[in-house]
Structure 1
Amino acid sequence: MKRYLLFAACLVSTGIMQAQQTLNTAENAVRYTTDNLTGTARFRGMSGAMGAVGGDLSAMTINPAGAAIFNYNSGTASLSSYNVNNKSNYFGNTEKENYNNFDLNQIGAIFVFNNNNEAATVRKFTLGFNYENNNSFYNRSFSRGVNTRNSIDQYFLRYANGVGNEGAISLNTLNNAYFENLSYNDQQAYLGYNAYAFNPGTDPNGPAYVSNIPQTGNYYQENYTATSGFNGKVAFNFAAQLKERLYLGINLNAHFTDYIENTTFYEDPNNTSGAGMQEIQFDNQRYTYGGGFSFNLGAIYKFTEAFRAGIAYESPTWMTLRNEVSQRIASYCPECDQNSTASNFVFDPATVFVYDRYTIKNPAKWTASAAYVFGKSGLLSVDYTLKDYSNTEYKSHGYGTINDQLSSTLDLASTIRVGAEYRIKQLSLRAGYRYEESPYKTSRTIGDLNGATGGIGYSFGISRLDLAYSWYQRSYQSQMLPTAFPDSARIKSTNNNITLSYTIDL
């Protein structure tokens, strides 16, 4: 049975702080700062370019003033199908992995309170709520190839010989300590030692530990990564129409995230001797969960009956998160244990380690919008968003080095979304395009995103059925091991999503 050990309550030490810093990299922080195109089918069909359009529950999450454009009480629920196709390149070898998932990604309602006094300043106000899955973490990728530079031994030796100035772990600790009593860094060394990835060094002037894996320079490696979970948000909205042309709104947002990552790294060191290390497999599971808070402010102004513009601000999001980690290692290493004839070694602590909570502050976002409405025939709209990702930071103590990395590698990034809708009686046709810059100064870690959407809707009078298709593509760098391993695969990810929404007006 798995044992849950609450490190924060049991151990308050430098080792625990270092463990959190090792687990919580700059890339982990960026995961919770990026959103995806989600929401209702109408919103998706127009690539989310609805900041000045309003009258849609997902549009009000971009600009909360858009809720005041509703004329009737309304509710919408949306179901989405996600398809992810990943093409991986690792040392020239290409692999493909395909994954599908379904999700109830949006549900919400708006309540409209009209003022019959035409001379009143406040013509109407609205109260509403909307839940959206801002980002789905469901994904699969598989990479394999022959690494001509590094073996998995580099991962374990980094911890065994000491990270930074902490010094090498003692041989007595490796032989006699209990795994659950060690810091995260020392646990990594302990795992490698029990799988015979390294041995004590014999040169008094050399490193404390040396590799036990044959230095062939040709290491066949595989890495399989499976992730699941979501980054969700519930927006509580208040909006009002002032006189004929001005709309104002505010959202109070509750954020919550649930992320599970399972990785399996396998290596065949190309050892043909029949003795020594032949195979090694390292399994990791990370579970991150928590919640946070943010708010939105927005305004929309109708310059004419046809042309309108909007401005919206979303505050930084303060996310308080917690990590749970479990690991397992296995190897096939004939004649590695001089005290037995065993060749297969498995070390599975069967322990889930629960670490201290920590806080990430995600950057604020500004969105400017404009729309032109062609009477009852259709509309054209555009949204432009700016977000300075370099303001992402860990607010907990001891993350100075990682925060410096975030501020130096991340950049101000813009997003542009263009959408159109054309109506033929009860039928609506929609299309859109979006482009998102990489949050990094260089696009090696995460590339720019290009996407296109289309959709159709049909009104039954008091209800409406909408269908949308969205496509987008982005490349990113996938780390082969959690940390401390220099090589990574390049993933080209193509996403095809279908959303069906049902809206009813009361």
Structure 2
Amino acid sequence: MMYRTLSLLLGLSLAAVVHGQNFSDALRFSSFSVGGTARSIGTGGALGALGSDFSVLSTNPAGLGWYRMSEFVISPGVYHANSSSVLLNDDGADAFEENRTNFNLNTFGVVFANANPNRDWRTINFGIGVNRLANYHQDFYYGGTSVGSIVNRFQEQANSEAGISDFESGLAIDVGALYESNPPDGLYYSDFGLAPDSAFFKSQDVFTRGAINELVFSLAGNFRERLLIGATVGVPIVRYEVEKEYREIDRGPGEEGSVPFFNALSYNEFLSTSGTGVNLKLGAIFRATQVLRLGLAVHTPTFMRLDDVYTASMGYNYTENEEEFEFISESPDGSFEYRLRTPWRLIGSAGFIISGGELKPVAPGSDTQVRVVRGGFLSAELEYLNYGNNRFQYDGFGDAEREVNATIQDELAEAWNLRLGGEYGFDQIRLRAGYSLQQSPLKGDDTLNSAISFGAGLRQKTFFADLAYRRQMNERFYTPYQTFDAPEQLVEQQVNLSEIVLTIGFRF
């Protein structure tokens, strides 16, 4: 005979454990898609060998050396995330669509140019500002009928050497989802063990917010129009929040439904991560010919110090002896400070300049002619990094640190990211297009996520304005919880990320 009443009275939420990070957290804070200016976005982010754009301060800072005039730039934008999610465990599950739109500031900064054509170092320029590296604003929902319960995870945890957690298994014990036998045998049981093959409805809402914005402090020089070198000290500022609302409901036939006693449960989580880091970016550009430029940049690991604040709550509704019970329990406020070291990055780039022009009369029938400039460029970037080199550092939790870092090495792989772009100009008008491919960072996953972009701009001597649109198409998979032996839930997501960015700049 099982007895959950005594367990509820005792309130067996006995021990807290470290709120564990996993490889997905490391991936989140090491996967960047530099927002930058509308010019950069419109050309697929492939300006590393060409420079003269504020976004290169976060990719190849040598490009800062091409500036001849000082410049102030600001890039507001609109970001839209569309997600379609389906629970794969349910063959007949519907795909549910969610949308999220937010306004952001992609770039804000100033370049101070010091140009002198009569010295070997033609320019020595300094730049300071902010570039957005990542955007976390997204909502999604899924629902369907399948075998397995989140209580299976809590039961495995309670019966393991790790013991009871105030944020998971302890809550399940508090609300009666887990209980001991009578007499006790040292193990915890659940209603779901009475019908392990029963399917019931489950759903979840997930709301994420936040971004990584990087403060950049850059210095670059141009040596005889042949070699440019530059360096950036980057200070990424991390803000990430996620709220999860997970539910299970037994809609089976009869009074007891599919699972005896069980009616419904809810498990809600909230996590807020904030912190800062520091890195160094070194870059060089070699002007091989009048039309060909080659670039190389190396990014050191980013050393981040992060703080987590997290809470959880659980509700459980069941019927016993024809009487319905419902209990709710909330965790204490949890906090944890830790460090993350992200991988090295290596970026190679090339740019091919297309120039030309023609003489045209200033007005019909006029003998006075002016040169109308036509031209542009084609560019490419190839980035390499090994996501498996992410490393967490915990003070006082050596075993947990070794375990999570071993998982990172087992799950994450090296990746190559390709960016292509081009621009064509006619007098003051610019037209742009870009394309990028990102290799999956997961071992054994051959998925390539792509993005397309388009843009246009107006360039005058002391003023410019650019507009760009980018659309990223991503395929992702999500699991609401993990277990060792019980069925897990797998959600497939199609995520389309769109953004429109306007850049306004003034030269002085």
Q: TM-score, normalised by structure 1?
A: 0.87
Q: 1:203 to 1:46 in 2, by over 3 A?
A: farther
Q: Does 1:188 align with 2:173?
A: no
Distance (Å, rounded) in 1 between the aligned partners of 2:291 and 2:300: 30
Say which SS state the counterpart of residue 113 (structure 2) adopts: strand
The alignment partner of 2:464 has SS state of strand
Q: Does residue 110 in structure 1 map to residue 101 in structure 2?
A: no
The correspondence for 2:70, drawn from 70, 73, 76, is 73
CA distance in 1, matches of 2:175, 2:498: 41
Alignment pair present for 1:366 and 2:372: no
- State the alpha-carbon separation in 1 of the partners of residues 127 and 307 from structure 2: 31
- SS of 1:431's partner is strand
Aligned mate of 1:222, from 193, 198, 203: 203
Q: CA deviation at 1:388?
A: 1.2
Provide the rounded CA distance (Å) in 1 between the counterparts of 2:110 and 2:483.
Answer: 44
1:161 matched residue in structure 2: 159
2:96 maps to amino acid:
E
Cα distance in 2 for residues equivalent to 1:58 and 1:195: 52
Change (3 A) 1:104 1:264: same
Query: How far 1:203 sits from its partner (Å)?
Result: 7.9
Residue 124 of structure 1 aligns with which residue?
123
Counterpart position of 2:83: 86
Tell me, yes or no, if structure 1 residue 391 matches structure 2 residue 371: no
SS in 1 for 2:168: helix
Q: Deviations over 1:386-426 (max 9, x none)?
A: 11111111133431121112112211110111100000111
Alignment of 1:394-413 (within 5 A): 394-396=392-394, 397-398=398-399, 399-413=401-415
Measured in 2, the distance between the counterparts of 1:335 and 1:194 equals 17
Q: Is 2:248 the counterpart of 1:267?
A: yes
Report the equivalent of 1:280.
265
Q: Partners of 2:324 and 2:130 in 1: how far apart?
A: 55
**Counterpart position of 2:500:** 498
Could you tell me how far apart the structure 1 residues matched to 2:329 and 2:384 are? 48
Q: How does 1:204-219 map to 2 (within 5 A)?
A: 208-213=187-192, 215=195, 217-219=198-200
Q: How much has 1:459 moved relative to structure 2?
A: 2.2
Q: 1:316 to 1:55 in 2, by over 3 A?
A: same
Residue aligned with 1:439, SS = coil
Contact residue 112 and residue 126 of structure 1 kept, 8 A: yes
**In structure 2, distance between residues paired with 1:404 and 1:482:** 17
Is the 8 Å Cα contact of residues 236 and 278 (structure 2) preserved in structure 1? yes
Percent sequence identity over aligned pairs:
23
| 2:60 is equivalent to residue 63 of structure 1 | yes
> 1:176 maps to which residue?
none
CA contact (8 A) 2:58 2:234 kept: no
User: Against the structure 1 CA distance between its residues 482 and 318, is the aligned structure 2 distance closer, same or farther, given a 3 Å change threshold?
Assistant: farther
Structure 1 residue 309: deviation in Å? 0.7
Shift, 1:456, TM fit:
0.5
3-state SS of 1:274 partner: coil
Do 1:199 and 1:212's aligned partners in 2 also have CA atoms closer than 8 Å?
no
Aligned to 2:364: none
Q: Retained in 1: the 8 A contact 2:22–2:408?
A: no
Measured after TM superposition, the shift of residue 479 of structure 1 is: 2.3
Letter of the 1:281 counterpart: S
Q: Which runs of no fewer than 5 residues in structure 1 stay unpaired?
A: 1-14, 170-184
2:41 paired residue among 41, 44, 56: 44
Residue of structure 2 in register with 1:6 after alignment: none
User: What's the CA shift for 1:370?
Assistant: 0.6
Q: Aligned partners of 1:232 and 1:58: how far apart in 2?
A: 12
CA contact under 8 A between 1:288 and 1:324: conserved in structure 2? yes
Partner AA of 2:120 in structure 1: T
Conserved in 2, the CA contact under 8 Å of 1:378 and 1:421? yes
Deviations 1:211-236 (Å, cap 9, x if unpaired)? Answer: 12462511210011000011111110
CA contact (8 A) 1:109 1:128 kept: yes
CA contact (8 A) 1:37 1:47 kept: no
Give yes or no for contact 2:200–2:252 (8 Å, CA) kept in 1: no
- Residue identity opposite 1:38 in structure 2: G
| 1:11 paired residue number | none
- The one-letter code of the counterpart of 1:333 is Y
Report what 2:140 is aligned to. Answer: 141
Would the alpha carbon gap of residues 195 and 249 (structure 1) be closer, same or farther in structure 2, given more than 3 Å must change?
Answer: same
**3-state secondary structure, aligned to 2:155:** helix
Letter in 2 for 1:389: Y
Partner residue in 2 for 1:177: none
Gaps of 5+ in 2: 1-14, 356-373
Maintained 8 Å contact 1:274/1:334: no
1:295-333 Cα deviation digits (max 9, x unpaired): 110111111221111111011111111111111111222
TM-aligned CA deviation for residue 460 of structure 1 = 4.0
Counterparts of 2:40 and 2:483, CA distance in 1:
38
Distance 1:483 1:392, change over 3 A: farther
Structure 1 residue aligned with 2:150, among 140, 149, 152?
152
1:25 Cα deviation from its structure 2 partner: 0.9
For residue 424 of structure 1, what is the aligned residue in structure 2? 426
3-state SS of 2:154 partner: helix
Q: Distance in 2 between matches of 1:25 and 1:201?
A: 33
Aligned to 1:335: 320
Aligned to 1:197: 177
Check whether the contact 1:271–1:277 (CA below 8 A) recurs between aligned residues. Answer: no
Match of 2:503, as an amino acid? S
- For the residues of structure 2 that align with 1:104 and 1:124, how far apart are their CA atoms? 29
Deviates more, 1:215-224 or 1:248-257: 215-224
Are the structure 2 counterparts of residues 483 and 227 from structure 1 closer, same or farther at C-alpha, using a change threshold of 3 Å? farther
Superposed displacement of residue 335, structure 1: 3.0
1:238-269 deviation per Cα after TM superposition (whole angstroms, max 9, x unaligned): 00011121111000111110110100110013
Q: Does 1:246 align with 2:227?
A: yes
Alpha-carbon distance in 2 for matches of 1:482, 1:67: 47
CA contact (8 A) 1:160 1:186 kept: no
Residues 1:325 and 1:109: Cα distance change in structure 2 (over 3 Å): same
Is 2:177–2:191's contact at 8 Å kept on the other side of the alignment? yes
Given the two structures, how large is their TM-score scaled by the length of structure 2? 0.86
